Amino acid sequence: MKMPKSVIAGLGVLVLGASALVQAAPPDQRGDGPDRGDQGQHEQRGDDHRGPQDNRRGGPPQDFGPVQQVIRDNHGQFSRGAPPPPNVRLMRGQPLPRGYYGERLDNRALARLPVYPGYEWRRSGPDVILIAIGTGIVYEILDGVLN
C-alpha cells in the first residue's frame, strides 16, 4: 500500500520535533551540565548555581581558587582571547549567546588546567570560562585571570 506524501512529511516533522525536544531537555535531566533553574537570578543575587552533588559525580568543583592560582603561576602559558562582541554578555548558568563560542585554549594552556568530563575551557578576552560541552551552558567565569 502506498502512503500519501503528506503522511510521510508529517511523520518526518514529528520525528524532528521529538528529537529537538530531547536535545532541549534541561541538563539536570540529561546529566551533562549544571542546574539551569531560576535562570538569570543567580548572577543578580550572587547565589551559586551549582548543586552540592556536582563533586560526587566527578564534575567541576565549586571553588575555582586553585585553578585561578594555576593560571597566575603559569601566566606565560596563557594568552588573552579576542574581546567578545559588544552585544555579548556571558553569565553563569546561561548558555553561550547564539553564534558566540569563545576561543579554544591552546594545548600548552589546557595541559595546565584540570579536566572535567563533559566540560571545556574557553577564553573570552581576559576571562577563562568553563562550559558544558553538550549544552554550551557557562558553568564558571574566571573574571580577568588573563590580565
pLDDT tens digits, 84-132: 888 888 999 999 988 888 899 989 999 999 999 999 999 999 999 999 9
Is there a domain that residue 101 lies in?
yes
pLDDT at 5: 77
Higher pLDDT, 94 or 22: 94
Which CATH number covers residue 104?
3.10.450.160
Q: Write the CA distances from 146 to 2, 30, 43, integer angstroms.
A: 63, 33, 22
Higher pLDDT, 38 or 10: 10
Q: Can you give the residue range of the structural domain that contains 110?
A: 33-142
Is there a domain that residue 60 lies in?
yes
Is there a domain that residue 132 lies in?
yes
Is there a domain that residue 120 lies in?
yes
pTM of model > 0.75: no
Distance CA 46, CA 38 (A): 13
Alpha-helical (H) ranges within 33-89 are: 41-45, 65-73
pLDDT at 27: 46
The average pLDDT across 28-43 equals 41
Q: How many domains does the chain have?
A: 1
Is there a domain that residue 9 lies in?
no
pLDDT in tens, 42-93: 333 333 444 443 444 567 888 898 999 999 888 888 888 888 888 888 999 9
